[in-house]
Structure 1
Amino acid sequence: MNSRPPVAPPEPPDAPDCLKNQKAASLVLYIGLVLLALWVVRDFIAVVAWAAVLAIALWPLLRKVEGNRWFTGRTTLIAAVLTLAIALLVVLPVGVGIAQALREAHDMSDWFKDAQENGIPLPDFIQHLPFGAQQASAWWQANLAQPLRGSAAMKGLHSTTVMTLGRHFGARAAHAVAVFGFMLITLFVIFQAGPRLSSSLLKGVRRGFGEDGAQLLLRMATAVRGTVSGLVVVGLGEGALLGVAYFVTGLPHVALLALVTAIAAMLPFCAPLTFGLAALWLVSQGSVAAGVGLAVFGSVVVFIAEHFVRPVLIGNSTRLPFLLVLFGILGGAETFGLLGIFIGPALMTVLMVLWTDLVR
């Protein structure tokens, strides 16, 4: 009996191609899920970034404290103490400033009422201006020396625009407090994770990008740490020098002004706001020479600190050229805001490493 030849089964799909397609599909799925997760927590990315910056800056201190035999195994206690210290460093200056403002509020209210009833007297320094004294005096007499109760400026202070600005300011302040609170919680969790977090992060980077990727991550962390150190050291130095100038020129509340100046000087080009207002106050009180001297001295201090001292301090710790440090700080602040001050030098470190590898 004739039998039909057996039919060959269909050829199985190419196993390597199938595996490759599965890996590609998995990669697309993972990327999509990561992007979705980032979109869900998008409002907290800045919070995590700030906590990461502070954790990187304080990581050597954390490891040193953990190495002490008195704190061995007390990770939660160490994390709580460091987080509390960060909170106090922010809350105490703000609290002192608010308390001082409340003490001055009564005098300001009396001055405001007197200006409404009698106007603002012509300051003596206007009559001694080298030029434009007559025009300035005439404008002052016409606009400010008269009772201000019915003036357009006083009416504007009671307008809905000012109330709207006040509500917006209150909302922004509440948002800042909430962000600060979440940042402290995140910072506590990072500190509590301790070495486990750093080792797992480096392990993941080595698996994904190799040893070069891990070294690049470490150099970026060094750049962030050097930037924080440079900002703090230069800020304290500017605050101390300008505090001496405040004392010499006879300004009140010298210690508080020096503290506010130091905090402002930790941010690039913010110190002129403090000593500039102080100089204007001196001029309004008739101390023209003291005001001008304070403005000139403060400008020189800030110019040297911002353009030479701070970039050198940061550049020495990150091994970056002066120009890259300066561009990193200024460009990062312009692009990413306050957080960009720390991100900029880290990105310049990446650029420097890539250039070194290219020309090697």
Structure 2
Amino acid sequence: MNNRIQDRYDLTKLMFCALFILTMMITSFLVIQPFIIGLTWAVMVVITTWPLLIKLQIVLWGRRVLAVIVMTLLLILFFVIPIALLVNSLLINSAPLVAWASSPANMHFPEMEWLNAIPLIGSKIYNSWHNLVEGGANELLAKLRPYVGEATTWFVAQAAHLGRFVVHLALMVLFSVLFYFHGERVAQGIRRFAVRLADEKGDSVIVLAAQSIRAVALGLVVTALIQAVLGGIALAMAGIPYATLLTVLMFILCVVQLGPLLVLIPAIIWLYWSGDTTWGSILLVWSGILGTFDAVLRPALIRRGADLPMILILFGVIGGLLSLGMIGLFIGPVVLAVSYRLILAWINEECGT
């Protein structure tokens, strides 16, 4: 009996046990590290689309295999292929953009001669504009030119890892198929592990995390993706240069809740400026529809709404892009949203609210 008590409180034995467990954890992490991004993405996709899988299974005579096949085809058709084509087009059109942004001839303020055509006040506005430019605006722009070129080159470089990006997409599809087949078993295992760690609170934490993932994925990412794609199609039809790059920029702006108008309005001005009033008017009407599109679509997708601070979403997008590349645009906001919701739930529970 004494020997058992002595073994239980043997400091050297406890240290070696802790060291062994820590070594196994670090080694396991290093082994699975190449798969973490694809796995995380698959978890997001499966949690978001799980209700659709269940409905398909009911329609397809209760056959899970048929439902998984349909979901996989939908995933490849509406998610993998568009993103892969978008990134590939981004790489193809990136060289002219980098050259344009780095060229001194392109980095200057326009003459704005068309201001003289405005009755009564046109000449005054034109003179004020040129006084502003000659007063140091062009000199400031010249100082900013190197940083604009470097920033453009860095942004395009984030999408340049096409091989790694395709690998992550393939892993995401593979893990998604496995989760679709064994989703209930995986969810039960995770919830049992959470209960083992924190009793009933652990289970509620897992449920809250799943709700946050579905809320952000549907309310933010899907809405932003639809807005960006519709806006990008309109830009391409209107003949706007670098429509693919502007589509990516619109997607980022929509995710951070700034909307697509920051890209569409300059495009409309450019069309009118170049004399294409027909497409300028069409894009103006389409921009008005698309600018309010998220107000209708986001509540319909999210139902309860993702009540998240805008600064949190902004940090998630920028931080995800800096740390994980283009994939971080999807993962960053979701991770911060889940963490925010869990911390908020813990604070409210401690405060008794």
Q: Is this a same-fold pair by TM over 0.5? A: yes
**After the TM superposition, which residues 1-360 of structure 1 pair with which residues of structure 2 at under 5 Å, given as runs?**
13-21=2-10, 25-68=16-59, 70-74=61-65, 77-90=66-79, 91-92=81-82, 95=85, 125=114, 128=117, 130-131=125-126, 171-231=160-220, 234-235=223-224, 238=227, 251=238, 260=247, 267-268=255-256, 269=258, 271-272=260-261, 274-276=263-265, 278-279=267-268, 281-287=270-276, 305=294, 316-317=304-305, 322=307, 324-337=308-321, 338=329, 339-360=331-352
Q: Structure 1 residue 243: deviation in Å?
A: 8.8
Q: Distance in 2 between matches of 1:237 and 1:68?
A: 27
Q: Figure out how many residues of one structure are paired with residues of the other and give that number.
A: 298
CA RMSD of aligned residues (A): 5.1
Q: In terms of mean alpha carbon deviation, does 207-216 or 283-292 score higher?
A: 283-292
1:9-64 per-position Cα deviation (integer Å, ceiling 9, x unaligned): xxx75423423555665444223312221123323322211111111111222233
Q: Between Structure 1 and Structure 2, whose CA radius of gyration is higher?
A: 1
Q: 1:65 to 1:133 in 2, by over 3 A?
A: same
Q: Which runs of 5+ in 1 are unaligned?
A: 1-11, 105-121, 140-160
Contact kept in structure 2, 1:314 and 1:325, CA below 8 Å: no
Q: 1:221 to 1:69 in 2, by over 3 A?
A: same
Q: 1:35 to 1:277 in 2, by over 3 A?
A: farther
Contact kept in structure 1, 2:316 and 2:334, CA below 8 Å: yes
Amino acid at match of 1:342: V
Contact kept in structure 2, 1:48 and 1:186, CA below 8 Å: yes
Contact kept in structure 2, 1:57 and 1:229, CA below 8 Å: yes
Contact kept in structure 2, 1:311 and 1:326, CA below 8 Å: no
Q: Return the TM-score normalized by structure 2.
A: 0.63
Residue aligned with 1:286, SS: coil
Contact kept in structure 2, 1:236 and 1:265, CA below 8 Å: no
Contact kept in structure 2, 1:123 and 1:286, CA below 8 Å: no
Q: Which runs of 5+ in 2 are unaligned?
A: 94-110, 135-149, 322-328
Q: Distance in 2 between matches of 1:95 and 1:58?
A: 22
Q: Structure 1 residue 354: deviation in Å?
A: 0.9
Q: Return the TM-score normalized by structure 1.
A: 0.62
Q: 1:94 to 1:45 in 2, by over 3 A?
A: closer
Q: 1:182 to 1:281 in 2, by over 3 A?
A: farther
Residue aligned with 2:61, SS: helix
Q: 1:289 to 1:133 in 2, by over 3 A?
A: farther
Amino acid at match of 2:304: N
1:123-178 per-position Cα deviation (integer Å, ceiling 9, x unaligned): 98577584269969xx9xxxxxxxxxxxxxxxxxxxxx9xx99x968852222222
The percent of aligned pairs where both chains have the same amino acid is: 19
Q: 1:237 to 1:132 in 2, by over 3 A?
A: farther
